[in-house]
Amino acid sequence: MFMMFKKYWQNTHSKFLLLCLASILMSFQNSVQAQSEFHQLAKETIEKFPVETEFAIGMIINGKKRFIGFRKTPHGLEQVRNETDVYQIGSITKVMTASILASIANKGKIDLNMDTSQIYDTLYNHKITLKSLANHTSGLNRLPANFAESAIKNQSNPYMNYGQKEFYEFLNSNFELNNKEYNYSNLGYGLLGHSLEKVTEKSYEELLQEEIAKPLSMNQTTSNPSKAQNRVKALDAEGYVTAFWTFDAFKGVGGVLSSTSDMLKFLYATTQKSHNGINLSLKETHQISERQAIGLGWHILNTKSGNRWYWQNGAVGGFTSCLVTNPESGNAVVVLSNVSAYHPDMQYIDKLCFDSMQKIEKMIKK
């Protein structure tokens, strides 16, 4: 009787081991397939851009992190380890700013529905809440009316000359709001970032470090360019080295620098629900259209395949970036590049990001 049981147990155990091995092999093959397809997509995309273009790409596949880096040289493409190199992330900064707001609100130190008239006396005629700034429904224009005057002084670094003085001149002016529908607004995020500084009596950099970077061990993330190590060269549309954009009054709009390694830590927090502020920022706050919505900073896309993707992109003079995450599937992609916002093919960075995410999601479902 014992021998029969032993033989049965051995057979069952062997079958179980074979099933486990098959599962591991399939998972490995899927990972290799995804890596290969991702490489091909990246190579096809980077060929559109000038020599010295770099891509730093990160992906989370079913909870596991992967990094890929490419640099275009005069002699062809090089695969490089650049996940800790630092890029300016442009408007992905807005997701950081919204996450700072959500983190402070989650601690009960600020109310998402706080009216900005409680912060600025001159805004008493306008019903603008912090939440409406974070989801682009405040009614504010994309940029302040007096921005062009400052931007024209340095067209290669348009935010550099728009400081606190110019910002308060606008806030004190007799401006009007549009309707309260979705209207993407850099002005709104400039006001949000500055409001957070005033309410907390801390600088944007202090808030970024305390609420986001330090809790997630994002050691290469900063809004202070002088603190950033291993910075990638910013390129203009022709491929010549250009300046990093500098932000004064509008740091909360596009002033953050980061690496792919750090951005995957941020995206991993969205999939693990490990940061209460980020969790709150992902909650839908406004329906834009049948398939699109917005949380706090995060744009939300309901895909045709039934997935719900949270995304944001960024574009400044010397850099273009994109990230997308699916908290339910545990998959995410980030693409950081030194492709100029003024390059005619810059939209292919978004395409690379979304096409890669689509391939990963399809592969995981198989």
- Cβ neighbours, 10 Å, residue 356: 25
Residue 21 lies in a domain: no
pLDDT at 155: 87
pLDDT at 24: 46
2 within a domain of the structure (yes/no): no
Domain for residue 193, yes or no?
A: yes
For residue 65, give the nearest of 332, 282, 325 by alpha carbon: 332
Q: Are 309 and 357 within 8 A, CB to CB? A: yes
- How many domains does the chain fold into? 1
Contacts 24+ apart (CB under 8 A), 68-72: 68/35, 68/38, 68/39, 68/42, 69/260, 70/42, 70/43, 70/46, 72/46, 72/47
How far apart (Å, rounded) are the C-alpha atoms in residues 290 and 287? 8
In a domain, 269, yes or no: yes
CATH number for the domain harbouring residue 125: 3.40.710.10
pLDDT score of 36: 75
Residue 14 falls within a domain, yes or no?
Answer: no
- Quick check: is 83 in a domain? yes
Residues of the domain holding 94: 38-365
pLDDT, averaged in runs of 10, over the chain (366 residues): 46 52 49 71 94 97 94 95 98 99 97 96 89 98 96 93 96 90 98 98 98 98 94 98 96 98 98 91 97 98 94 98 97 98 98 96 80
pLDDT of 274 reads: 83
Task: Please check whether residue 18 lies inside any domain of the structure.
Answer: no
Q: Rounded to an integer, what distance in angstroms lies between the CA atom of residue 208 and that of residue 152? A: 30
| Assigned domain for 3 exists | no
- Please report the pLDDT score of residue 315 as a whole number: 98
